[in-house]
């Protein structure tokens, strides 16, 4: 298949590069935390696009940090073992056996695939889990019942972040590497915890004082009640969308993490459609809005 980029006339290519220049200059030396998930993780063409985008960002002086999910891959691995995944309020119940599967799927199969793709595209990626360098310290999540706040659900080895020590990530960035992080934390007794990747990305962006947090999803972004894409929102407007029920269901945890990051000093959070080729570059390095941007102010 012919690469559509090769068919762009030279004058148009030059114009595209010229339009990107102000954004490259503005974000040079800044950190961007990218939550990698959805179709972008499972479609081979989109995987290649993602790897190229991450490498390009690094080459123009932006510091990408990748946090990945892996729900479908975990589910497939559990099925191969004859084990059925259980969920309470959208959270995977993680017993000891499931935790073992989570660790080898996320820190093994999924992480190494991403590292390989980025390296193949010309970058220098390094895989990490929350254990490396004491990156993510966690404790058992106390899940409150949605309908009765006096009740708690036991979801096993699902973690709540206690603290993040970004030293290992910063050291890798300074050495021109691209960190790729699996959302696994460790407790005070050295036990492992499965942590929501959106939550890890949001907290990490805050601790690293990132310029941007980018969440790749399987939706165009935040939609209003008529299905129209909302491209530019303030933290206060997001609060209003929670209150009137516009944001609900599966988008809740994603938006909550994004909102926390925006309120905690991350200048902008982008929720973009990972099904669009090179959506990340289009959102960050052009004037055209390809998703929802949540502004800190």
Q: Is the domain of 111 the same as that of 135? A: yes
User: Which tokens is 220 given?
Assistant: 């165009």
Q: Is the domain of 71 the same as that of 167? A: yes
CB 155 within 8 A of CB 92: yes
Q: Is the domain of 203 the same as that of 239? A: no
Report whether 236 belongs to an annotated binding site: no
pLDDT on residue 250: 62
Report whether 250 belongs to an annotated binding site: no
Total domain count for the chain?
2
CA distance 121 to 57: 12
CATH of the domain at 105: 3.40.1160.10
Q: Is the domain of 214 the same as that of 240? A: no
Give the residue from 218, 236, 255 where a domain finishes.
218
In the structure, what pLDDT confidence band is assigned to residue 206 with cuts at 50, 70 and 90? very high
Domain of residue 240 covers 219-263+279-290+293-297
Select the more confidently predicted residue: 93 or 120.
120
209 inside domain? yes
CB 200 within 8 A of CB 67: yes
Of the given ranges (74-83, 156-165, 251-260), which has the lowest mean pLDDT? 251-260
Q: Is the domain of 85 the same as that of 178? A: yes
3-state secondary structure of 47: helix
pLDDT in tens, 19-66: 888 888 999 999 999 999 877 788 889 999 999 999 999 999 999 999
Q: Is the domain of 123 the same as that of 251? A: no
Q: What is the mean pLDDT of residues 218-229?
A: 80
pLDDT in tens, 230-240: 878 877 787 77
pLDDT in tens, 257-291: 788 888 888 888 888 888 888 888 888 887 766 78
Q: Is the domain of 109 the same as that of 75? A: yes
Report whether 295 belongs to an annotated binding site: no
* Beta strand pairing call for 63-68 and 31-36: parallel
User: Does the structure show a pLDDT above 80 at 246?
Assistant: no
Q: Is the domain of 117 the same as that of 179? A: yes
54 inside domain? yes
pLDDT on residue 42: 83
Closest listed residue to residue 77, CA positions, set 86, 87, 85: 85
CB 199 within 8 A of CB 234: no
Q: What is the pTM of this model?
A: 0.90
Average pLDDT of the chain, as a whole number? 86
Select the more confidently predicted residue: 259 or 132.
132
pLDDT on residue 127: 96
Report whether 194 belongs to an annotated binding site: yes
């Amino acid at each position: 298949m012919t690469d559509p980029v090769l068919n762009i006339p030279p004058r148009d290519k030059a114009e595209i590069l010229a339009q990107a220049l102000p954004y490259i200059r503005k974000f040079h030396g800044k950190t961007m935390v990218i939550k990698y998930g959805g179709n972008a993780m499972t479609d081979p063409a989109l995987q290649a696009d993602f790897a190229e985008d991450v490498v390009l960002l690094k080459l123009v002086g932006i510091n990408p940090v990748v946090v990945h999910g892996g729900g479908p891959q975990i589910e497939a691995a559990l099925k191969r073992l004859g084990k059925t995944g259980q969920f309470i309020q959208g959270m995977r119940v993680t017993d000891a056996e499931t935790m073992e599967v989570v660790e080898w799927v996320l820190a093994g199969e999924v992480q190494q695939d991403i590292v390989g793709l980025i390296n193949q595209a010309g970058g220098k990626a390094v895989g990490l889990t929350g254990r490396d360098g004491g990156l993510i310290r966690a404790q058992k999540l106390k899940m409150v019942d949605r309908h009765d706040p006096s009740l708690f659900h036991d979801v096993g080895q699902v973690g709540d972040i206690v603290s993040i020590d970004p030293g290992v990530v910063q050291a890798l960035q300074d050495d021109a590497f691209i960190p790729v992080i699996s959302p696994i934390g460790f407790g005070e007794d050295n036990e492992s915890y499965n942590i929501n990747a959106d939550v890890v990305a949001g907290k990490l962006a805050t601790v690293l004082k990132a310029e941007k947090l980018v969440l790749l999803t399987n939706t165009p972004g935040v939609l209003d009640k008529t299905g129209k894409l909302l491209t530019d929102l303030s933290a206060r407007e997001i609060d209003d969308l929670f209150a009137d029920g516009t944001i609900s269901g599966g988008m809740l945890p994603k938006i909550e993490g994004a909102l926390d990051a925006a309120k905690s000093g991350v200048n902008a959070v982008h929720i973009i459609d990972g099904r669009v080729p090179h959506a990340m570059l289009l959102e960050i390095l052009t004037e055209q809005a390809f998703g929802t941007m949540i502004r800190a102010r």
